[in-house]
Amino acid sequence: MRLKDKVAIVTGGAHGMGEAEARLFAQEGAAVVIADVLEERGEAVAADIAAGQGRARFIRTDVSAEADWQRLIAETIATYGKLDILVNNAGISGSAVGSDLSLEGWNKLMAINATGVFLGTTLAAQEMAKTGGGAIVNISSIMGFIGSAEGHPGYAASKGAVRLLTKSAAVRWGPQGVRVNSVHPGYMPAMLHGTNAGGRAAKIPATPLRRLGEPIDVAYGVLFLASDEAAFITGTELVIDGGYIAQ
């Protein structure tokens, strides 16, 4: 088992990529804390993992709130005794706030996608440093590399912020044994939920591997970066996009 005896927090773990990551981590031996605002769904995922002989619990968490982060980390340690891994997966898409270029939309995207990652990275790294280190994986996007006219521009800005925050945190916390890396998923069906059928179909031939990504594609990349197999990898980006931005 690649994460045997590890303790991991996965934000946004109640659905989508976060759920896939949480389930895969549990299969690989980790105790998993699912942190999300979706209480019913999060409790159900944790219960399902536990029913399959895994170790999991749910803690309601608004990642934009510092007090929620403090409580999340404290309860994780109270339950499992330590914190080895954090996956900052929680986030919202540009379509979630519309494309009217509003300041309200910008602020919401930044609060969840960027500030949430800053809070989690900082508070988790502080705790990990006390026990010799750990691994933090921040979920960005291919929009952290390229611009897009789709949705609110705050989305790309927030994901670009995650990319460089990750590098800065890797340099800051490396001497304490904390590794910090970012993952940049490409287009997936869930990401294109608000896109018309023609727009969704156009993404497939535009992707060299000729398909959209699935949550498990990302989960396996996150698993690698969170595991001891990546012990000498920090401050880097793992792009999981079927070759989309290689063109």
Q: Which two tokens stand for residue 213?
A: 């990504």
Pair type for strands 7-11 and 134-139: unpaired
Token digits for 124? 């988790």
Bridge-based pairing of strands 85-88 and 134-139 is parallel
For the four alpha carbons of 109, 120, 135 and 40, in that order, the dihedral sign comes to negative
The reply to whether 220 belongs to the active site is: no
Q: How many CA atoms lie within 13 A of 18 on its CB side?
A: 30
Helix (H, G, I), strand (E, B) or coil at 55: strand
Separation CA 65–CA 163 (nearest Å):
21
Catalytic member of 80, 155, 187, 244: 155
Sheet holding 237-240, edge to edge: 55-60, 31-36, 7-11, 85-88, 134-139, 178-185, 237-240
Which residues are known to be catalytic? Answer: 155
